[in-house]
Amino acid sequence: MPGKTLGMLLAVTCLLSLTLTAVQAEEGTLLRFKFLPGQVETYSLQVIGEGQMELLGLPNDREMKSPLKIEMSLPLDLITDEVDEQGHARLRAHLGALDMRVIVAGHNIHTVMNPAAGTVTVTADGNVLPIPAGWVLPIQGLENMVVTLTPQGQLAGVEGLEQLPAVMTMGLMGGVNREQMLALMQGQAPLLSENPVRPGDSWEQTLTFPWPEDKPTTAVTTYTFQELETVDGEPLARLALTSSLELRDVPLPEQVSPTGASGAAGPPPGGKSRNLLNLLRVDSSGEITLPLEGGYLHSADLDVTLNLETTRATSQDPQASARKMLLKDLRLKYRLTPRY
């Protein structure tokens, strides 16, 4: 009798377990990040890009057209410092040394940025290049930059962003300020499901960027819950995503050095500028995987196509109005993988 009773209990337990599993699968799963204080994850980010770069309206009416190749690697650690009652987590992003190679116009440009040492080294065809004084800002703060994430994966805040060197903040955007850069970073953050979802379900993330002020730009990202998979015994949700963003006629701040010389970092004396980011279009697609029961993003593979057109026109140099920089169909492949 005891054996039969035990057998019946096991049968009932199994049946109940299967029933609960079926109900959970029917109702769906809420995809959320669940952070634990002291949690540490290590990642390796690799970026490979290829496209076409054009510079028009150079002195003596010259033009430059060249294939563009980019290779970049960056190790990083994410460490959870604290989690509030709403599930918002403060994460320290400990960055390793960024290593980037750019091949354009027959030149091989190699950049190494080491936040721990506070150094930036740039070589072109093996020759070390001097870094403009206005571009070399303290970057030690990047070693432990703090970000705040919501349970849905949205970027709620960044501390240490002001420590980014000018060579990065100017970058392709030509002078985006801190608020604009934060908004753009928020636009790249995943928004997990606000409602329970099952494999096959899709949902959208809509973001409005605060510039230009007269016509804010809206970007829409569509997520599709593709399937559940298991890696090393861990259940993972695999999501596909597509996204599109287009900015037009965005005024950019003048690039002025602390000494007033044009071409380096810093705002213009009057805050006015005729520099325009005429067109920035970014199309993204790819996959991300994350632990079903919470935790950090497990891995990501994204293809990003970027088109950029800028026109430089200033009252000091009216002839510069014809100068343009174009990046055409620059395809970037991002791969984020865990390091063990």
- End-to-end distance of the chain based on CA atoms, in angstroms? 51
**What beta strand segments (E) does the chain contain?**
40-58, 62-83, 89-95, 98-104, 107-114, 119-124, 127-128, 145-149, 155-159, 202-209, 217-231, 234-252, 275-291, 299-312, 323-338
The segment with the largest mean pLDDT, out of 8-12, 171-175, 240-244, is: 240-244
Contact 49, 330 (CB under 8 A): yes
Nearest to 238 by CA among 188, 190, 290: 290
Residue 312: band (very low, low, confident or very high) from pLDDT cuts 50, 70, 90: low
- For residue 181, give the H/E element and its range: helix 178-187
Amino acid of residue 253? P
CATH number of the domain where residue 159 is located:
2.30.230
Q: Which carries the bigger pLDDT value, residue 39 or residue 261?
A: 39
pLDDT in tens, 270-283: 444 455 667 778 89
Q: Does residue 6 fall inside a structural domain?
A: no
Residue 18 placed within a domain: no
Residue type, 205: Q
Q: Which domain holds residue 96?
A: 30-338
- In a domain, residue 129? The reply is yes
Evaluate whether residue 219 is within a structural domain.
yes
* Domain membership flag for residue 19: no
DSSP string, 210-243: --STTS-EEEEEEEEEEEEEEETTEEEEEEEEEE
Query: Confidence class of residue 322 from pLDDT cuts 50, 70 and 90?
Result: low
pLDDT at position 85 over 80: yes
| Tokens 């962003």, located at residue | 161
Q: What's the structural domain count of the chain? A: 1
pLDDT in tens, 247-261: 777 665 554 433 334
Total-model pTM: 0.76
For residue 10, name the pLDDT band (cuts at 50, 70, 90).
very low
Least confident segment among 32-46, 100-114, 246-260, 293-307: 246-260
Rounded-to-integer distance, Cα 118 and Cα 128, Å? 17
Q: State the pLDDT at residue 23.
A: 35
Is residue 307 situated within a structural domain? yes
Q: Which candidate, 88, 89, 87, 52, places its Cα nearest to that of 67?
A: 52
Q: Which residues contact 148 (CB under 8 A, 6 or more apart)?
A: 88, 89, 90, 91, 155, 156, 157, 158
Q: DSSP readout, 53-111?
A: EEEEEEGGGEEEEEEEEEEEEEEEEEEEEEE-TT--EEEEEEE--EEEEEEETTEEEEE
Each residue's pLDDT tens digit, 136-158: 555 666 667 888 888 887 778 87
